Amino acid sequence: MVGKRLYTRLIQPPQGSFFLFGPRGVGKSTWARRHFENALRFDLLDEALYLELLADPSRFAGELRRLSPGERVVVDEVQRLPNLLNEVHRFIEEKGLRFVLLGSSARKLKTAGTNLLAGRAIWKTMFPLVPQELASDFSLGDVLQFGSIPLVWQSAGRAETLTAYVQLYLREEIKAEALVRNLPGFARFLPIAALSHAQGINVSGIARDCGAARTTVSGYLDILEDTLLTYRLQAYEARLRVRERKLPKLYWVDPGLVRAVKRQLGTPSKEERGALLEGWVLTLLRTYAAERGLYDEIFFWSAAQSNVEVDFLLKKDGRFVALEVKAGRRFSKSMLSGLKAIQDLKGLERRILLYRGDRPSRTESGIEVWPIETFLQALARDRLWP
């Protein structure tokens, strides 16, 4: 078990105002305190402050007036009082104040009439800890079993903390913010959605399994994505006709989280590892895209006339890198079917197989076989693209 420590995150603060979103417990508040220790702070999880500003929003403006131009202001859990963004907008314009707007859900901010600052604040996302941030504390086995959300990673009882995390999510994120009308129905939906991790989203099948209407399940999936717990990965469809379009795939942002929702927190089974590793790799790719510009777009790829797929297809400036992820420790040529099928894609510059073994190699057809450690080094050194 790792003792509590302050990890250096990849994310760097922009010069101007910005939104920073991420799941609860991912470290947004800790990061903001570290980088903006002298900023005026409004923590809307403080119920007394929340109720005070709810009853009298003018107090927020009153405190901002006493600041000097260019000073920083941190508003934590800004989605709880979206109307404050009107004042944020005004004080950016009139006084040049710079705001750090933290949130665990973008859902309420997407509602009609919410002031999203019209480009005056950029949007950033914070993800769970990645190996470059964990450094010597990194353990792939621990990450696949418990994930790397800082709140959980630094806990003395990771399994118990993960279980409590799910209950906290239901109580504070879903119930308190009134995101759903039927909380028991949403609670029944969660473990079924977790079973769809790294799979195509069959909304009708999920609806049948959890006893809910298809439209209800579609709304529940939107909530998971808006609260930053999941991500829907679209298929690459360069020349596919409408009838050939593939369903998007559902990925949870953290291996521990998807296991907690399924109530399976023992050592991951052989059957679990493939999806857990694949989902974790996607979160790494999204992290480095957000902070290092790793790619412009990301997809999965599927052959038009078969079920052969490639897990991830990265696109940047019209160029592509294809990545296939396997949880096996021994390389087998059977792992290469998708990467062989995609070889004629225009603009494809690199094909990489990631696996849990320790020997890098290259096939006669140019497919690179990388251990996970080689992949992590390529991300950290910005060498994924040839």
Pairing mode, strands 319-325 and 309-316: antiparallel
Answer with the one of 96, 125, 154 that is the final residue of a domain: 125
Q: How far is CA 135 from CA 132, 164, 293, in A?
A: 5, 27, 21
- Asked if residue 385 is part of any domain, the answer here is no
118 alpha carbon, distance to own chain's centre: 24
Where residue 242 falls among pLDDT bands split at 50, 70, 90? very low
Of the pLDDT bands very low, low, confident and very high (cuts 50, 70, 90), residue 244 is low
Same domain, 215 and 317: no
Q: Compute the distance between CA of residue 148 and CA of residue 134 in angstroms, rounded to an integer.
A: 9
Confidence of residue 2 (pLDDT cuts 50, 70, 90): very low
Mean residue pLDDT of the chain comes to: 92
Evaluate whether 74 touches 40 at the Cβ level (below 8 Å).
Answer: yes
Tell me the H-state helices in the chain: 28-35, 47-55, 58-65, 84-95, 131-134, 140-146, 150-153, 158-168, 183-195, 203-210, 214-226, 255-261, 270-292, 337-341, 372-380
Domain's final residue, options 125, 151, 171 = 125
Question: Which residue range(s) make up the domain with 329?
Answer: 293-380
Q: 107 falls in which pLDDT band (50, 70, 90)?
A: confident
Q: For tokens 């052959």, what's the residue?
A: 303
pLDDT at 237 over 80: yes
75 lies in some domain = yes
Task: Give yes or no: residues 110 and 142 share one domain.
Answer: no
Assigned domain for 11 exists? no
> Do 188 and 69 have their domain in common?
no
Q: Which residues pair with 314 in a beta bridge?
A: 298, 321
Q: Which residues contact 87 (CB under 8 A, 6 or more apart)?
A: 57, 60, 61, 64
- Is residue 5 a part of any domain in this protein? no
| Residue whose pair of structure tokens reads 């902070």 in the numeric block | 291
Q: Assign residue 340 the CATH number of its domain.
A: 3.40.91.50
Residues with Cβ within 8 Å of residue 136, at least 6 apart in sequence: none
Mean pLDDT lowest for which of 34-48, 226-240, 360-374?
226-240
- Tell me, yes or no, whether 120 and 204 share the same domain: no
In this structure, the answer to whether residues 256 and 359 fall within a common structural domain is no
CB 314 within 8 A of CB 321: yes
Sheet architecture: strand order including 249-252: 199-200, 249-252, 230-233
CATH code at 240? 1.10.10
Residues 119 and 152 occupy one common structural domain: no
Provide the Cα torsion 179, 184, 189, 190; round to 10°.
80
Is residue 79 situated within a structural domain? yes
Is residue 230 located within the same domain as residue 308? Answer: no
Residue 6 located in a structural domain: no
In this structure, the answer to whether residues 97 and 196 fall within a common structural domain is no
Residue type, 12: Q
Is residue 264 located within the same domain as residue 350? no
Q: What is the pTM of this model?
A: 0.93
Tokens of 48: 């007394």
- What single-letter amino acid sits at 27? G
Given a cut of 70, is residue 61 above it in pLDDT? yes
Average confidence (pLDDT) over 104-118: 70
The CATH number of the domain where 113 resides is what? 3.40.50.300
**What is the band of 234 on the pLDDT scale with cuts at 50, 70, 90?**
very high
Which pLDDT score, from 0 to 100, does residue 183 have? Answer: 83
pLDDT above 80 for 222: yes
Same domain, 136 and 227: yes
Residue 281 lies in a domain: no
The reply to whether 149 falls in a domain is yes
**Domain tally for the chain?**
3
Kindly report the CA angle at 96 between 90 and 98, in degrees rounded to 5? 95
Last residue of a domain, one of 76, 96, 125: 125
- Do 141 and 106 have their domain in common? no
- Which of 6, 21, 227 lies closest to 123, judged by CA? 21
Co-location of 161 and 262 in the same domain: yes
DSSP 32-63: HHHH-TTSEEEETTSHHHHHHHHH-THHHHHH
Question: What does the pLDDT read at residue 245?
Answer: 67
Q: Is the pLDDT of residue 133 over 80?
A: yes
